[in-house]
Amino acid sequence: MERGYDIVLFGATGYTGALTAEYLAEHSPRELRWALAGRNVDKLEALRAELAEIDPDRPTPDLLSADVEDPASIRALAAAARVVISTVGPYAEYGEPMVAACAEEGTDYVDLCGEPAFVDRMYVKYHTIARQTGARLVHACGFDSIPYDLGVLFTVERLPEGVPLHVEGFVRAKGSASGGTLRSALGAFSDPFEMKTAARERKALEGEPEGRRVRIERGLPRTRLARGWTLPIPSLDPQVVVRSAAALERYGPDFGYGHYGAFRWLTSALGAAGGAAGVMAAAQVPSLRERLMSLRSPGEGPTEEQLAGGWFTVHFVGSGGGRRVHTLVSGGEPGYGATSGMLAESALCLWQDELPATSGQVTTAVAMGEALIERLPRAGVEFEVLRTFEE
Ligand X SMILES: NC(=O)c1ccc[n+]([C@@H]2O[C@H](COP(=O)([O-])OP(=O)(O)OC[C@H]3O[C@@H](n4cnc5c(N)ncnc54)[C@H](OP(=O)(O)O)[C@@H]3O)[C@@H](O)[C@H]2O)c1
Cβ proximity to ligand X: between 91 and 251 the closer is 91
Residue 110 CB, nearest approach to ligand X (Å): 12
Binding site for ligand X (CB under 6 A): 11, 13-17, 38-40, 43, 67-69, 87-91, 94, 112, 114, 142-144, 178-181, 184, 298-299, 301, 335-336, 339
From CA 272, how far away is CA 92, in angstroms rounded? Answer: 25
Residue 95 CB, nearest approach to ligand X (Å): 8
Number of H helices, E strands in the chain: 16, 14
Treating both helix axes as pointing N-terminal to C-terminal, what angle do 266-283 and 179-189 enclose, rounded to 10 degrees? 70
Q: 3-state secondary structure string, 81-125? A: EEEEEECCCCHHHHCHHHHHHHHHHCCEEEECCCCHHHHHHHHHH
From CA 191, how far away is CA 172, in angstroms rounded? Answer: 27
The type of residue at 208 is E
From CA 191, how far away is CA 115, in angstroms rounded? Answer: 11
Q: Do residues 167 and 318 touch, judged by C-beta distance below 8 A?
A: yes
Residue 17 CB, nearest approach to ligand X (Å): 5
Cβ proximity to ligand X: between 165 and 236 the closer is 236
From CA 91, how far away is CA 119, in angstroms rounded? Answer: 9
Cβ proximity to ligand X: between 43 and 58 the closer is 43
Cβ proximity to ligand X: between 166 and 289 the closer is 289
Cβ proximity to ligand X: between 335 and 341 the closer is 335
Cβ proximity to ligand X: between 10 and 255 the closer is 10
Extended beta strands in the chain, E state:
5-10, 34-38, 62-65, 81-86, 108-111, 136-138, 165-174, 213-216, 229-232, 254-263, 311-320, 323-332, 360-361, 382-390
Cβ proximity to ligand X: between 142 and 261 the closer is 142
What is the Rg, in whole angstroms, of the alpha carbon atoms belonging to the chain?
Answer: 20
Cα angle 193, 145, 388 (rounded to 5 degrees) comes to: 125
Cβ proximity to ligand X: between 187 and 221 the closer is 187
* SS3 at position 156: helix
Cβ proximity to ligand X: between 325 and 367 the closer is 367
Residue 291 CB, nearest approach to ligand X (Å): 18
Residue 52 CB, nearest approach to ligand X (Å): 19
From CA 299, how far away is CA 261, in angstroms rounded? Answer: 28
The upper half-sphere exposure of residue 181, i.e. CA atoms within 13 Å in the direction of its Cβ, equals 20
